[in-house]
Amino acid sequence: MTASGLTAGALAATAGQLALVVGGAPLLVGLMRQVRARLEGRAGAGVGQPWRDLRKLLGKEAIRPDGSSWVFTMAPLLLLASTLVITAVAPFLSTVSPVEGVADLFAVVSLLMLGTVALALAGLDTGTAFGGMGASRAVTVAALAEPTILLAVFALSARVGSSNLADIVESTLTTPAQVLSPASLLAAVAFAVVIIAEAGRLPVDNPATHLELTMIHEAMVLEYAGRDLAMIELASAMRLTVLLGLGANLFMPWGIATTVAPLPLLGAAVVFAVKLGVLGAGLAVFEVFVAKWRLFRVPELLAGSFLFGLLAVSASFFLA
């Protein structure tokens, strides 16, 4: 394949995974809600309900509270833009990308933190008690969750000698036995806890509640409406999809394409969608059988995941 053909194929792969994540993220949330509804004996609103909600919100006017500044206005845009960048650079469909040099572990974690901080500042900007409470809780969770992501993925990158996510995936594809190594297993446990915390799922947060004593994410977005709220809801669904996708492809990379040919990319898209569906349904089943933890117990859970991350890094060096 010529250089121009390779570039065109890489651009097509990037566009494909952007379309897949943006279009599929609300459907993944709808699937998880439907699984929970069935297990709880309810009919459920259907897998497509999140898209119907977004369409309704996009048709409404964005209302901003008195006294809020540009921080409140820019937060949804920053949250959505940072998530879109991660979606574009992460190796979801193929390890070949025109921006693969940007798909660095530290860059991805920084972009995740940027979205979290933007939303927390917006919660503080409104001057309400709920916003400040949610922002403080979100920053507390992020302060423990983001370093754990770094440790968990660094444990995988140490044996590769590169913090590039595509290089990590290609290394695992070359030597599949690494998946069952102590470092990978410990890192997988740490990363799984981080997904729950970063996405605001049970037992860390309950995305379906509006009780002031329990909510974290919802407390920061209570003042949003219309198009702004639609961007936040879409970005939140995409962050969940991105985190599950990173977990699937870093620890179970089979099915990802190593070229930009059409057929491998199509197969990779199908496999990626199946992985996300299985992981999302599994997370929904887990949430049915677990209760929301008290807030002071959440740092204990995240500290435990941080310890698993440290053990994973130690194992990657001493048990290599």
Digit-coded pLDDT (tens) for 255-298: 999 888 889 999 999 999 999 999 999 999 999 998 888 888 88
Q: How confident is the model at residue 65 (pLDDT cuts 50, 70, 90)?
A: confident
**E strand or H helix that includes residue 223:** none
Q: How confident is the model at residue 215 (pLDDT cuts 50, 70, 90)?
A: confident
Instruction: Assess whether pLDDT exceeds 80 at residue 299.
Output: yes
CA-closest candidate to residue 139, choices 198, 73, 86, 70: 198
pLDDT for 120-176, tens place per residue? 999 999 888 888 888 988 998 998 899 999 999 999 998 888 889 999 999 989 888
Q: How confident is the model at residue 10 (pLDDT cuts 50, 70, 90)?
A: confident
- Whether the ω angle into residue 203 lies within 30 degrees of 0, i.e. cis, is yes
Locate 32 and state its tokens.
């998880």
| Cα gap 141→114, rounded to integer Å | 14
Number of folded domains that form the chain: 1
Alpha helices in the chain (DSSP H): 3-39, 49-58, 70-89, 105-125, 129-158, 165-174, 182-198, 217-220, 226-251, 262-288, 298-318
SS3 of 208, please?
A: coil
In the 8-state DSSP scheme, what is residue 104?
B
Q: How confident is the model at residue 3 (pLDDT cuts 50, 70, 90)?
A: very low
Instruction: Assess whether pLDDT exceeds 70 at residue 320.
Output: no
User: Does the predicted TM-score (pTM) go above 0.85?
Assistant: yes
Q: How confident is the model at residue 211 (pLDDT cuts 50, 70, 90)?
A: low
- Region 224-238: mean pLDDT is 94
CA-closest candidate to residue 236, choices 42, 2, 53: 53
Measured CA to CA in angstroms, residue 292 lies from 76, 201, 206, 282 at distances of 27, 9, 7, 17
Instruction: Assess whether pLDDT exceeds 80 at residue 99.
Output: no
Instruction: Assess whether pLDDT exceeds 60 at residue 32.
Output: yes
Measured CA to CA in angstroms, residue 77 lies from 30, 114, 132 at distances of 23, 11, 20
Which among 127-141, 208-222, 235-249, 295-309 has the top mean pLDDT? 235-249
- Domain membership of residue 91 as a residue range: 3-318
Q: How confident is the model at residue 29 (pLDDT cuts 50, 70, 90)?
A: very high
125, 283 Cβ separation under 8 angstroms: no
pLDDT at 199: 87
| Cα gap 49→55, rounded to integer Å | 10
Q: Which of 30-44, 46-60, 172-186 has the lowest mean pLDDT?
A: 172-186
How far does Cα 181 stand from its chain's mean position? 24
pLDDT at 212: 59
pLDDT at 177: 84
